[in-house]
Amino acid sequence: MSEADINAVIEVLRSDFLTQGPKVPAFEQAVASYAGASYGVAVNSATSALHIACRALGVGPGDAVWTSPNTFVASANCALYSGAEVDFVDIDPRTYNMSVDRLAEKLEQAKATNSVPKVVIPVHFAGQPCDMAAIHALSQQYGFQIIEDASHAIGGRYKGEPIGSCRYSAITVFSFHPVKIITTGEGGMALTSDPVLAERMVQFRSHGITSKPELMHPRPVDEIWNYQQIDLGNNYRMTDMQSALGLSQMVRLDEFVTVRHAIAARYDELLKALPVTTPWRSPDGYSGMHLYVIRLKLDEIHRTQRDVYESLREQGVGVNLHYIPVYRQPYYERMGFKAGYCPEAEQYYREAISIPMYPGLTTELQGQVIDAIDKALKP
């Protein structure tokens, strides 16, 4: 948080609006124009953005939604909120994103049983863009819609264009949770270039209500109808306080991502001598660099992943694990998913550790992280 961030929120507290004032549309405009999409719909989380995106695309009972197992549970839960079924496409062992080959195979099988999904949700894991051109080509061939879960990827680029342009998707979702690249405390946004989808998402964000006369149902002219509820939505609105913070953070977005890349480059160098695999970066993309994940070469060290993880925590290094394959969660196991379903995602999960990655990470702290890793890897 900079002084400018803090002052931006204070200015709203002194203004006439706490919510639904001028800052929300200003923030939506700033993010949409940065990303090159026509519309931004700001909401109270990326989870809500994924839900309204599914609703706007007509996802409902009887439909299927596919996503990556290597993601936060919200990427899959949005299908369940909408009454649809969810399924998972295994990951590419190099990018840790949804594998396009596995997707193509699974679509071919689904076509034979008339069960092609309505929506596929690729997740730009760690900020690295998925192979969107290939996924988009499959969407044309098989007839599904795409929602990009770009919760990790604001500020990144794909084939030279900002992530969020929606060139290869119907809708792109960003998260502004504090662990992500820019923050509004809690918050998210759904971007699209389709005015009909944008309008539907605006309705679902606020109870399914519209105040646009052209969308209202005819009623006797002597009755007052300043708004109508025309569908069932939620209260997913973002406040002006959050939007003011987001607008202020947008000013430093490019700087945040540049610093993250410098940190990643230093890690690449410092980790060369250790028995770990560092993240591969596709020449097609520029990552938002939300996460830096190392994979332990377990056959070269005499320690388990858990030993290393716990040793690092004990040494005061804030390591994490992104992600437990979603379908291994007890809730998903109850739906019938079993261990072994996506072997690449599981193999990855058994070797991965996310090491500290945030703009305030100094060279000195990075050196300490490396020393701690070195120590943790030794028997």
- Return residues touching ligand PLP (CB under 6 A): 45-47, 71-72, 74-75, 123, 149, 151-152, 175, 177, 188
In the numeric block, which tokens belong to residue 268? 């690449």
- The least distance separating ligand PLP from the CB of residue 65, rounded to whole angstroms, comes to 14
The number of angstroms, rounded, from the C-alpha of 107 to the middle of its chain's C-alpha atoms is 23
- The least distance separating ligand PLP from the CB of residue 100, rounded to whole angstroms, comes to 18
Measured from the CB atom, the residue of 177 and 207 that comes closer to ligand PLP is: 177
- The least distance separating ligand PLP from the CB of residue 366, rounded to whole angstroms, comes to 23
Neighbours of 123 (CB within 10 A): 28
Measured from the CB atom, the residue of 48 and 248 that comes closer to ligand PLP is: 48
DSSP state string for 268-325: HHHTTTSSEEPPP--TTEE-----EEEEE-TTTSSS-HHHHHHHHHHTT---B-----
Neighbours of 363 (CB within 10 A): 10
- The least distance separating ligand PLP from the CB of residue 326, rounded to whole angstroms, comes to 10
- The least distance separating ligand PLP from the CB of residue 47, rounded to whole angstroms, comes to 3
Measured from the CB atom, the residue of 118 and 152 that comes closer to ligand PLP is: 152
In the numeric block, which tokens belong to residue 371? 């020393």
Burial 234-254 (b: 16+ CB within 10 A, else e): bebbbbbbbbbbbbbbbebbe
Measured from the CB atom, the residue of 30 and 301 that comes closer to ligand PLP is: 30
CA atoms within a 13 Å half-sphere pointing along the CA-CB vector of 264: 23
- The least distance separating ligand PLP from the CB of residue 207, rounded to whole angstroms, comes to 20
Neighbours of 338 (CB within 10 A): 9
Measured from the CB atom, the residue of 181 and 264 that comes closer to ligand PLP is: 181
- The least distance separating ligand PLP from the CB of residue 138, rounded to whole angstroms, comes to 21
CA atoms within a 13 Å half-sphere pointing along the CA-CB vector of 183: 12
In the numeric block, which tokens belong to residue 250? 């947008």
In the numeric block, which tokens belong to residue 26? 């200003």
Strand partners, 190: 41, 173
Measured from the CB atom, the residue of 45 and 248 that comes closer to ligand PLP is: 45
Measured from the CB atom, the residue of 327 and 370 that comes closer to ligand PLP is: 327
